[in-house]
């Protein structure tokens, strides 16, 4: 089985595990005052990690809940970056907007980012599955982006006035992004907050959204989605318009047409 198909199967099976767990009983615990984790996050992660270890024993894994316990950033040649449930707060409240995000990075060199020593490499595969929506987004480097088997492309919206935008707010830092939000709101057609960064990026990829930005994210929130958005024709950078640093915590993804203008507006803040 090829890598992409393996990853798609993994995400879709993890989705089934999440839905089965939901049917039985969701058990919510808190990692911090506003930061939730559920038994579904843990069951999904356990399954995904076991399967990767079984099929790719030489690869290493960076996965959200595992990292929370072990605080280890892997630096093998191939590293899987996983969010076993992106949108946990939505899931815990019965909102259907959540996903499983799985990416594979091919390490080129070890480099220092703003925040960590990490493997600097190329994301070669990205899959984001939204089990309640029956949608699987995926991309392999230089092979285009797909939704449920159909090629997807970013939107053709060329000005902010016609743009539907999306952003997010970090758990526990409720004042972060308020200034950017307030600045952008009157300039665009409408502005949303859905609650799954991985899906926000995929919705850029398939043209539902025209621009997305967010601060204080983790690599597992954006690794798969950023490849999918790029492969669909979008531009993905940090909020200054510089090369995306997976560990740099901020991101700006647009359909390409709006990128310069959004960067310019943010540069004045």
Q: Which residues bind Ca ion (CB under 5 A)?
A: 64, 83, 85-86, 221
Confirm if 269 and 262 have CB atoms less than 8 A apart: no
Q: For residue 133, report the phi and psi dihedrals to the nearest 5 degrees.
A: -95, -5
Residue with tokens 């983790």: 218
Helices 219-231 and 197-205, packing angle to 10 deg: 0
Query: Exposed/middle/buried for 9, CB within 10 Å: 0-12, 13-18, 19+?
Result: middle
By beta-carbon proximity to Ca ion, the closer residue of 17 and 163 is 17
Residue with tokens 């993905």: 236
By beta-carbon proximity to ligand IPD, the closer residue of 213 and 257 is 213
Residue with tokens 């915590």: 249
By beta-carbon proximity to ligand IPD, the closer residue of 4 and 130 is 130
CB of 206 to Ca ion, least distance (A): 20
Q: How far apart are CA 97 and CA 83, in angstroms?
A: 14
Confirm if 47 and 66 have CB atoms less than 8 A apart: no
Binding residues for ligand IPD restricted to 5-34, rule: CB under 6 A:
none
Q: Which stretch binds ligand IPD (CB under 6 A): 21-29, 82-90, 141-149, 183-191?
A: 82-90
By beta-carbon proximity to ligand IPD, the closer residue of 1 and 190 is 190
By beta-carbon proximity to ligand IPD, the closer residue of 3 and 164 is 164
For residue 99, state whether it binds ligand IPD (rule: CB under 6 A): no
CB of 86 to ligand IPD, least distance (A): 4
Torsion sign, CA atoms 175, 170, 87, 12: positive
User: Which residues make beta-bridge pairs with 35?
Assistant: 32
| Residue 87 contacts which entry, ligand IPD, Ca ion, none (Cβ below 5-8 A, type-dependent) | ligand IPD
For residue 88, state whether it binds ligand IPD (rule: CB under 6 A): yes
For residue 217, state whether it binds ligand IPD (rule: CB under 6 A): yes
Confirm if 37 and 65 have CB atoms less than 8 A apart: yes
CB of 214 to ligand IPD, least distance (A): 6
Q: How far apart are CA 145 and CA 205, in angstroms?
A: 8
For residue 45, state whether it binds ligand IPD (rule: CB under 6 A): no
CB of 50 to ligand IPD, least distance (A): 20
Binding residues for ligand IPD restricted to 119-178, rule: CB under 6 A:
168-171
Q: Is 203 helix (H, G, I), strand (E, B) or coil?
A: helix
Q: How many CA atoms lie within 13 A of 140 on its CB side?
A: 9
By beta-carbon proximity to ligand IPD, the closer residue of 95 and 171 is 171
CB of 63 to ligand IPD, least distance (A): 11
Task: Report the interface residues with ligand IPD, using CB under 6 A.
Answer: 83, 86-89, 168-171, 195-197, 214, 217, 221
């Amino acid at each position: 089985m090829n890598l992409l198909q393996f990853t798609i199967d993994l995400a879709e099976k993890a989705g089934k595990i999440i839905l089965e767990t939901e049917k039985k009983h969701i058990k919510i615990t808190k990692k911090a005052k506003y930061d939730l984790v559920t038994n579904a996050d843990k069951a999904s992660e356990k399954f995904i990690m076991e399967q990767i270890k079984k099929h790719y024993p030489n690869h290493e894994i960076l996965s959200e809940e595992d990292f929370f316990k072990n605080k280890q950033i892997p630096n093998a040649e191939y590293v899987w970056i996983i969010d076993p449930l992106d949108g946990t707060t939505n899931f815990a409240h019965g909102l259907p907007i959540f996903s499983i995000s799985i990416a594979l990075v091919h390490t080129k060199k070890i480099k220092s980012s703003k925040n960590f020593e990490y493997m600097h490499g190329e994301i070669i595969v990205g899959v984001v599955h939204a089990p309640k929506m029956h949608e699987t987004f995926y991309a392999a480097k230089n092979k285009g982006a797909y939704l449920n088997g159909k090629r997807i492309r970013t939107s053709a919206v060329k000005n902010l006035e016609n743009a539907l935008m999306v952003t997010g707010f970090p758990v526990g830092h409720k004042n972060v992004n308020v200034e950017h939000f307030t600045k952008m709101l009157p300039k665009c057609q409408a502005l949303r907050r859905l609650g799954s960064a991985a899906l926000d990026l995929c919705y850029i990829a398939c043209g539902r959204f025209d621009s997305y930005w967010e601060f204080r994210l983790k690599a597992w929130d954006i690794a798969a989605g950023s490849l999918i958005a790029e492969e669909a024709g979008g531009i993905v950078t940090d909020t200054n318009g510089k090369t995306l640093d997976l560990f740099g915590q901020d991101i700006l993804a647009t359909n390409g047409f709006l990128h310069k203008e959004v960067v310019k507006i943010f540069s004045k803040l």
